[in-house]
Structures are given as C-alpha cells and as structure tokens.
C-alpha cells in the first residue's frame, strides 16, 4: 500500500508541476503579447523626436494643405496610434504586480497618449 500511495503522491506532484508550468507559460505568452503591442506603439510614437515631428507635421498640414484627403489621412493615422496606445495601456495595466518596469512603461505610454491627443486636437482646431 505504501508503494501505491507513493506513486499517487508522485503523480499528484507531477500534475501540480504541470499546472505551475502551464500557468507560467500563460504569463509568458501574455507578456510577449503585451511586449509586442507596446513595442509597436513605442516604435511609432514614444520617441520624443518623432512626436515633435508629428506635431510639426500636423501644424503644417492644417495651415498649408487645403486638400481634405491629407487631413483625413493624418487624422486617421493619429486615431490609429491613439487607439494602439489605449489598448496597450489596458494590457500593461494587468501586470502592475510585476514591478517598476511596468510602471515606467505605463508612464511612457501615458505621455505618448497625451502627445498624440495634442496632435489630434491641433487637427480639429
């Protein structure tokens, strides 16, 4: 009977180990997804030079371009970026327990969103 009990305990430990590995795999998968989403947004919008250039472009398009299609295209692009920022922020917010790195990412993402909103407002005014 002792052998059977030992085998059952070993099987139970194996199942527990598999659940932990599976749970860690899910977390890694979610982090990878969040990282890819965040990388896309940061590559497009988080660099301060790019945001400044985007603001300048928005001002020039509004001031100098009477072509409505250019305004619509820039408006659509800014809206897409803003949507990506909001979506990424929601994904990142679910990982608050993982430390300061995520706090910094959230702050940078908020800065990006604010800058994009300013550019978007310039387009509307």
The pLDDT of residue 120: 76
Cα separations in angstroms, 61 against 42, 53, 65, 69, 73: 24, 12, 5, 11, 11
The pLDDT of residue 43: 62
Tens of pLDDT, residue by residue over 46-85, are: 556 676 777 777 777 777 766 677 778 888 888 888 888 8
Tens of pLDDT, residue by residue over 20-48, are: 555 666 777 777 777 776 776 666 555 56
The pLDDT of residue 65: 64
User: Would you list the domain boundaries of the chain?
Assistant: 37-124
Task: Check: CB of residue 92 under 8 Å from CB of residue 106.
Answer: yes
Neighbouring residues of 102: CB distance < 8 A, sequence distance ≥ 6 = 92, 95, 96
Question: Does residue 2 surpass a pLDDT of 60?
Answer: no
């Amino acid at each position: 009977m002792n052998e059977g009990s030992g085998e059952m305990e070993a099987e139970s430990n194996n199942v527990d180990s598999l659940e932990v590995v599976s749970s860690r795999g899910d977390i890694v998968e979610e982090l990878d997804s969040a990282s890819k989403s965040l990388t896309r947004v940061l590559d497009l919008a988080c660099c301060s030079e790019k945001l400044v250039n985007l603001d300048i472009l928005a001002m020039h398009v509004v001031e100098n371009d009477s072509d409505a299609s250019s305004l619509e295209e820039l408006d659509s692009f800014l809206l897409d970026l803003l949507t990506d920022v909001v979506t990424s922020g929601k994904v990142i917010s679910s990982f608050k327990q993982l430390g300061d790195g995520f706090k910094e990412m959230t702050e940078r993402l908020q800065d990006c969103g604010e800058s994009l909103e300013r550019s978007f407002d310039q387009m509307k005014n």
